[in-house]
Amino acid sequence: MKIGFIGLGIMGAPMAQHLLAAGHEMFVRTRSKVPEALQGAKVCATNTEVARSADITFLMLPDTPDVEQVLFGKDGVAAGLAKGKTVVDMSSISPIETKRFASEVNKLGADYLDAPVSGGEVGAKAASLTIMVGGPETVFERVKPLFALMGKNITLVGGNGDGQTTKVANQIIVALNIAAVGEALLFASKAGADPAKVRQALMGGFAASRILEVHGERMIKRTFAPGFRIALHQKDLGLALAGAKALDVALPQTASAAQLMQSCAAQGWDQLDHSALVKALEHMAAHQVAPDAA
């Protein structure tokens, strides 16, 4: 199959690599150097050329304005679309704008899926991402074999926009869990207990979670190199709070987590992994869960 891929960042590059390794012909557009693992891909001069060359064009971009620009801006994907082509946006963006983007793409005779992912850089490299899809079932079934090259838990949630809504819900849960683990380990450390042993004990009980396992270890070992940056998670919580306002829903804990991330941003920590949210809690307590690595 002829596949286009736009957005070869921390997540996009390994995702594209899995598709290329499966033998598909790939067309890419990137402002930076093409990663070594993607040297077999054909580099296009414009996003229009990518869409014109490919049967299915994947997007993996930072935010809603980026997706809109790539789709509908100068030399955008839309100009290369025609009947029978498909756009699959795997970015995490606004559900409301996603519905508009899908409608505009459909008017051109092309199909659209929103398919945001969870699992971070680790999941992207291991092809174990959770993929939450919104769009027509017939289109989903056509693209599903490609999703299976990038992820394990692949679910068609509903129509266009529902994939993005699911991702926002995911980000709410993840953010609140990171904050909870951070508070628990900070409390334990300040009380004089060994946070590593506390975490080990908690992993065997009802408090066990993937966040405690992975990000709890990051907090203790002070390994905050980004798998998923605070700045991106901050953007996702902004989508959650904007959606909540439109729906007249109160999300007080989400707002609290968003403020902790804002505190991190104010300290210049927003390019760190989102597990570094604990640093905002530590700053308020004047105490670290564990000493920084020497």
Active site positions, annotated: 167
What is the dihedral angle through the alpha carbons of 75, 132, 118, 263, rounded to the nearest 10 degrees? Answer: 80
Show the tokens assigned to 271.
Answer: 């390019």
Task: Go through the chain and tell me how many residues it has.
Answer: 294
- Which of 137, 138, 120 is CA-nearest to residue 129? 120
Rg, Å, the chain Cα set? 20
How many helices (H) and strands (E) in the chain? 12, 9
- Which of 93, 70, 91, 68 is CA-nearest to residue 235? 93
Q: What share of the chain is helix, strand, coil (3-state, %, to 5)?
A: 55, 15, 30
**Residue whose tokens read 């414009």:** 46
What is the dihedral angle through the alpha carbons of 19, 20, 26, 30, rounded to the nearest 10 degrees? Answer: 90
Strand pairing class (2-6; 25-29): parallel
Which residues make beta-bridge pairs with 117? 131
Q: How distant, in Å, are the alpha carbons of 58, 83, 140 from that of 67?
A: 11, 21, 20
| Backbone dihedral angles phi then psi of residue 273, each to the nearest 5 degrees | -60, 150
